Structure 1
Amino acid sequence: MVKGDGAVLVHSDGGSYKPLNWMSAPCTLTVSAPVEEEAAEGIIEIWTVKAAKTNDCLVIRLSEVYLDHNEELGIDPGLIKDGVEAHLQELLAEQVTQILGEGWTLIRREYPTAIGPVDLLVRDAQGLPVAIEVKRRGGIDGVEQLTRYLELMSRDPLLEGLRGIFAAQEISKQARTLATDRGIESLILDYDAMRGMDDADSRLF
């Protein structure tokens, strides 16, 4: 197999997933005719694959071609990371009532502070302000970050009674313990359910 990026892979007849040998891109492929002795052994073509940054070289000798097929896959769209913090923040902002409860309302996304914006500022059912920091994987650093936001924001008399929620798809045990010690609530976000791809209420477990 010769890939679009120049990589060459040699697979077994059994169709195994992992190639028997390969040369990763960047590399160059040169096709040449066999010498007389190789031709006498039934070799019809020689592929020489050389790595661009090292002296590695892969030599492939072909004795028979059963099928030569080219599959156009189109333009490479690039790697698109799904479920990043921006996606989670946007979905949570849209579903404040569904996730946090009746009476909860969104005040603003990216609420500014002197050290950067907190992801969400909302009001709970009692009308008290709540700052929410959203992460894909919640660690101690995220809790420390939210703590700094809360310290600054609590100086604003308009945000009297402010508290925090640390929201993530996964939250480490250490981060959860630290959040509890700081008076911060932890919230696990179900990304698939939030984007309508999974109904959490219909699952058996």
Structure 2
Amino acid sequence: MRIIVADCSAVYSGRLNASLPLAKRVLLIKADNSLLIFSELGSYKPLNWMTAPCTIKEVVVPADEAAAEQPQPERLLRVSADKSNDILEVTLYHIYSDQDFDLGLDPGLVKDGVEDHLQRYLAEQIQRIGDGAKLIRREYPTAIGPVDIMAVNSDGEHVAIEIKRHGGIDGVEQLTRYCDLLNRDPLLAPVHGIFAAQTITPQARVLAEDRGFRCLILDYEEMKNTEDDSLRLF
């Protein structure tokens, strides 16, 4: 991974047009040529980015002596999407740091221990989602990642279950993506969604219910210590 700290500006053109004025930012360039631009403020999301598959070209900009009093660009990074006409151009004016790091192989995300146990307990006690429910499998594979639990309800319809310790809007969005994809398969549709967590924020609950999902509160201690078949659907 290449990490650049520099004064830079950026212009994105293609399906949408966006620009970033000159400011000090951090650029991450991954081995697949993905480029992400971050600032000190904001959340974990980049200000702008281009993801793979893409091609990156770097050009050294010659100094313009006639405009010496103005900020002088040093390099231009031009990132072109391979499957569209989208282009991200980043102009670097002053580079504070430019380093490469070999991160090696990543073992992938390891789920929080409690979350993993919640998944296992719910799979073993699948009747908690409704009488007559049956487990298909944990970590049901899809093209965009595994669904925590796939089951069928008493009507024989598929149910995709997303499990979190603390359920927020991001978890609802994740379940939405899974259900949208799974419902394109005529052998699976209709696929219903259940958002299961120890706690669910009010905003996440509203969003989940608006999208037709059910919310299931999981009591970790109770699931661990008893075989209670009672439902706690809200």
Which range, TM-score by smaller chain? 0.5 to 0.7
Matched, 1:185 2:185: no
Cα deviations across residues 55-79 of structure 1 (Å, max 9, x unaligned)?
xxxxxxxxxxxxxxxxxxxxxxxxx
Say if 1:192 and 1:198, in contact at 8 Å, map to a contact too. no
Matched, 1:167 2:196: yes
**Residue of structure 2 aligned with 1:95, choices 125, 128, 134:** 125
Q: Which has the larger radius of gyration?
A: 1
Unmatched runs of 5 consecutive residues or more in structure 2: 1-110
**1:104 corresponding residue in structure 2:** 133
Q: Distance in 2 between matches of 1:101 and 1:127?
A: 12
Structure 1 residue 100, shift from structure 2 partner: 2.1
SS of equivalent to 2:178: helix
Q: Distance in 2 between matches of 1:107 and 1:198?
A: 20
Tell me the amino acid that sits aligned with residue 91 of structure 1.
Answer: Y
Structure 1 residue 112, shift from structure 2 partner: 0.9
Quick one: structure 1 residues 194 and 82, their matched pair in 2 at CA, closer, same or farther if it must change by over 3 Å? farther
Unmatched runs of 5 consecutive residues or more in structure 1: 1-80
Say if 2:182 and 2:189, in contact at 8 Å, map to a contact too. no
SS of equivalent to 1:157: coil
Tell me the amino acid that sits aligned with residue 197 of structure 2.
Answer: A
Question: Normalised by the size of structure 1, how large is the TM-score?
Answer: 0.55
Percent of residue pairs identical: 62
Structure 1 residue 122, shift from structure 2 partner: 0.3
Structure 1 residue 165, shift from structure 2 partner: 0.2
Q: Distance in 2 between matches of 1:151 and 1:198?
A: 33
For 1:5-154, list aligned pairs within 5 A: 84-97=114-127, 99-154=128-183
Quick one: structure 1 residues 199 and 124, their matched pair in 2 at CA, closer, same or farther if it must change by over 3 Å? closer
**1:65 corresponding residue in structure 2:** none
Higher relative contact order (CA closer than 8 Å, sequence separation 6+): 2
Cα deviations across residues 79-133 of structure 1 (Å, max 9, x unaligned)?
xx98621110000000012x12321000111111111001000000111000000
| Number of positions where the alignment pairs a residue of Structure 1 with one of Structure 2 | 120
User: Cα RMSD over matched residues?
Assistant: 2.2
Say if 1:140 and 1:178, in contact at 8 Å, map to a contact too. yes
SS of equivalent to 2:170: helix
Say if 1:89 and 1:120, in contact at 8 Å, map to a contact too. yes
Quick one: structure 1 residues 161 and 199, their matched pair in 2 at CA, closer, same or farther if it must change by over 3 Å? closer
